[in-house]
């Protein structure tokens, strides 16, 4: 069997029928009868030596979204790690020119839903700066990086985290300085200044992408749930609240594992449905809520980044 959330990432599924795109497969010479049947997450496939085998949510981000402790329909999620995946949970795929132009995609979710999202650069930039600084004799823990960023002057510069020049890392601090020079900006002089520029720019990019998601889907966002390892970074979570103008609920960090477990509990009948599961998660998991601050100042910086991107 081919589990739905994973199958949709292969670019061979018709989002409207939720089945293999027969016309597309025929054009590339793949016989449809060679493809395993698509099953929805939560399908009981059988047993192996007495152990139940369940097709859970096999895509890691799909599982993480199941683990979002959301209590409102109008929420966005941000799976934050090396990459940032920002999206909405919808009951249908959004397929139109506006979605294409905004580089938004539809990936399968639990219960026949779709994750309408965009991939954004994440903590990769900071991770690669940390490698270079360690080679230069300056060792920073991730807590150290947050501390020196907090101590740095705000809004010294902005970068587009998704600029192609950052995808390959040779000397990330220098690549950041080169980008800032190319865009007519002055680079921060300290390591903390560079880290703060990255953190701020990620939050600003989240705001821009969220605008696209809302505009194209028509679904408003009242709350942003940040899950994954990046949810432990309180500074970035606060910045995300400031930039987007909506409250941020941070946690759980291990949303993928929790989401996988939740689907199995539902399949076994231990939980009635996803709504009940999320109510349970909301009551039992420690989360931190960040309220937007200095929204006007951050709105100005969002426009600044939009102008730099062009």
Query: What pLDDT is recorded for position 251?
Result: 98
Region 184-201: mean pLDDT is 99
User: How distant is the alpha carbon of residue 220 from its chain centre?
Assistant: 18
Give pLDDT, residue 129: 99
- Residue 117 has a pLDDT of 99
pLDDT at 166: 98
Please compute the mean of the pLDDT values over residues 41-63 and round it to a whole number: 97
Residue range 291-307, pLDDT digits in tens: 999 999 999 999 999 99
Q: In the prediction, which pLDDT does 304 show?
A: 99
Give me the chain's average pLDDT, please: 98
Burial of 296 (0-12, 13-18, 19+ CB in 10 A): exposed
Over residues 74-113, the pLDDT tens digits come to: 999 999 999 999 999 999 999 999 999 999 999 999 999 9
| Spatial distance between the Cα atoms of 72 and 222, rounded to a whole number of angstroms | 8
Classify domain 59-310 at the CATH superfamily level.
Answer: ATPase, nucleotide binding domain (3.30.420.40)
Q: Specify whether the CB–CB gap between 152 and 196 falls below 8 A.
A: yes
Contact 13, 19 (CB under 8 A): yes
User: What 3-state class would DSSP assign to 289?
Assistant: strand
In terms of Cα–Cα distance, which of 212, 244, 211, 200 is closest to 226? 244
The pLDDT, as a whole number, for residue 113 is: 97
Share of the chain above pLDDT 70, in %: 100
| pLDDT at residue 37 in the model | 97
> Is residue 33 annotated as part of the catalytic site, yes or no?
no
- Sole residue written with tokens 């309220």: 291
| pLDDT for residue 239 | 99
Tell me how far apart the 2 most distant CA atoms of the chain are, in Å: 65
* 149 φ, ψ (degrees, to nearest 5): -70, -40
**Rounded mean pLDDT of 227-251?**
99
| pTM for the model | 0.96
Dihedrals φ, ψ of 28, to 5°? -100, 5
How many Å apart are CA 288 and CA 302, to the nearest integer? Answer: 24
**Helix, strand or coil for residue 294?**
coil
Using 50, 70 and 90 to split pLDDT, how confident is the model at 134?
A: very high
Q: Give residue 294's pLDDT.
A: 99
Q: Which of 14, 60, 191, 307 is catalytic?
A: 60
188 with 158: CB under 8 angstroms? Answer: no
pLDDT tens figures, 243-271? 999 999 999 999 999 999 999 999 999 99
* Residue extents of the structural domains in the chain: 59-310
């Amino acid at each position: 069997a081919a589990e739905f959330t994973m199958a949709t990432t292969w670019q061979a599924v018709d989002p409207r029928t939720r089945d293999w795109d027969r016309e597309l497969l025929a054009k590339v010479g793949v016989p449809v009868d060679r493809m395993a049947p698509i099953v929805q997450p939560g399908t009981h496939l059988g047993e192996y030596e007495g152990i139940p085998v369940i097709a859970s949510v096999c895509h890691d981000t799909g599982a993480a979204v199941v683990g979002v402790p959301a209590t409102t329909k109008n929420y966005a999620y941000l799976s934050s790690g090396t990459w940032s995946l920002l999206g909405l949970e919808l009951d249908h795929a959004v397929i139109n020119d506006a979605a294409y132009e905004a580089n938004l995609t539809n990936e399968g979710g639990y219960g026949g839903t779709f994750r309408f999202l965009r991939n954004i650069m994440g903590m990769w930039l900071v991770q690669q700066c940390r490698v270079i600084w360690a080679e230069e004799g300056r060792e920073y823990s991730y807590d150290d990086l947050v501390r020196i960023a907090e101590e740095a002057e705000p809004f010294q510069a902005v970068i587009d985290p998704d600029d192609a020049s950052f995808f390959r890392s040779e000397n990330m601090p220098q690549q950041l300085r080169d980008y800032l020079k190319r865009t007519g900006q002055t680079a921060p002089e300290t390591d903390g200044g560079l880290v703060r520029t990255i953190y701020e720019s990620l939050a600003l990019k989240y705001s821009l992408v969220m605008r696209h998601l809302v505009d194209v889907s028509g679904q408003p966002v009242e709350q942003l749930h940040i899950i994954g390892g990046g949810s432990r970074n309180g500074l970035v979570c606060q910045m995300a609240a400031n930039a987007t103008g909506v409250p941020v609920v941070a946690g759980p960090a291990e949303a993928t594992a929790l989401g996988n477990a939740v689907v199995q509990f539902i399949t076994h009948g231990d939980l009635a449905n996803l709504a009940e599961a999320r109510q349970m998660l909301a009551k039992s998991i420690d989360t931190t809520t960040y309220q937007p601050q200095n929204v006007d100042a951050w709105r100005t910086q969002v426009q600044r980044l939009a102008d730099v991107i062009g």
